[in-house]
Structure 1
Amino acid sequence: MSDLEIRRATAADIPVIVAMLADDPLGAERETPDDLSPYLAAFERVAEDPNQHLVVAVREGQVIGTLHLTVIPGLSRQGATRALIEAVRIHADARGSGLGTRLFEWAIEESRRQDCVLVQLTSDVTRTDAHRFYERLGFTASHVGFKLAL
């Protein structure tokens, strides 16, 4: 993995990121890679917010993974700052290579650098392989999540 670079995403990376988001059964239902305009608009909002860290993993000039880390200041836990990991995707050709672990190591280290007291994530109940991966990294299933579509 010494030839791996993890860097902030740019607008030029959006087509590859969206393709990775769409490349699984859940993403295929909710992503629309043929129309990048909503993703580019969202990218601008993300890029302007210093608490948003949308990164890509690049090997040999190719984007092969992505992760979105959000730093959340708060009042609970005595004014603690926490980090939220979302939208982790590995290109199909790079799965099983240790890249997911490397991205999580980056996210955890960046969370420490941002003085976060914990790192959290949510995961769809159907992603059982991902759940095992998170547990191997030391994450514990501690909450039940709820969503309300608007």
Structure 2
Amino acid sequence: MEIRKATLADVPVIVSMSARFYPTTHYADWCEMDEASVAGLATGLIENDVFYVAERDGELVGMIGLMIAPFLFNQNRKFAVEIVWWVAPDARGSRIASQLLAVVEQPCRDAGAERIQMVHMPNSPPQAAALYRHAGYAESEISFTKDI
């Protein structure tokens, strides 16, 4: 198993993995996933931000992508904000998730980020929160969404 920086050649598989991930989220209740939008997002993250994939036996089985952005209340400080972090169900339990989480720290630092903010959705597996805590993350925010 190899964790490596994603390339533009990976975008079609990233879109495919996203199509497997998306229905498991509450976002799927709001609107359908648009493959062109996901491809554009992945391309932007690969070219401008931080995106890594996990490859096992020539097949991508996981991904993590973060956007580097100025902090809302101080534009002179940068945060890395998770856009996607997912491991295929048949590859879970093999430390891929923790390896993906660990590998992005240095590239985020190199991009000028001082902090990483990860997302934990209501339907995220409970082991994700435990992994965050184990890796030194602290709970920082809960968001609420309303249709208008």
TM-score between both structures, scaled by the size of structure 1:
0.75
Instruction: List alignment gaps of at least 5 residues for structure 2.
Output: none
Question: Residue 52 of structure 2 contacts residue 63 of structure 2 at CA under 8 Å; is this kept in 1?
Answer: yes
> Which structure is higher in RCO with an 8 Å CA cutoff and minimum separation 6?
2
CA distance in structure 2 between the aligned counterparts of 1:53 and 1:121, rounded to whole angstroms: 13
SS at match of 2:104: helix
Matches within 5 A, 1:1-150: 3-10=1-8, 11-22=11-22, 24=24, 26=26, 29=29, 32=32, 36-47=35-46, 50=48, 52-74=49-71, 76=73, 79-127=76-124, 128-147=126-145
TM-score between both structures, scaled by the size of structure 2:
0.76
Instruction: List alignment gaps of at least 5 residues for structure 1.
Output: none
Identity rate, percent: 19
Deviates further, 129-138 or 76-85: 76-85
SS at match of 2:114: strand
What whole-Å deviation, never above 9, does each CA across 1:81-138 have from its counterpart, x for those lacking one?
1111231100111101000111011111211222321111222134333212211111
Question: Residue 85 of structure 1 contacts residue 107 of structure 1 at CA under 8 Å; is this kept in 2?
Answer: no
CA distance in structure 2 between the aligned counterparts of 1:32 and 1:75, rounded to whole angstroms: 29
RMSD (Å), alpha carbons: 3.0
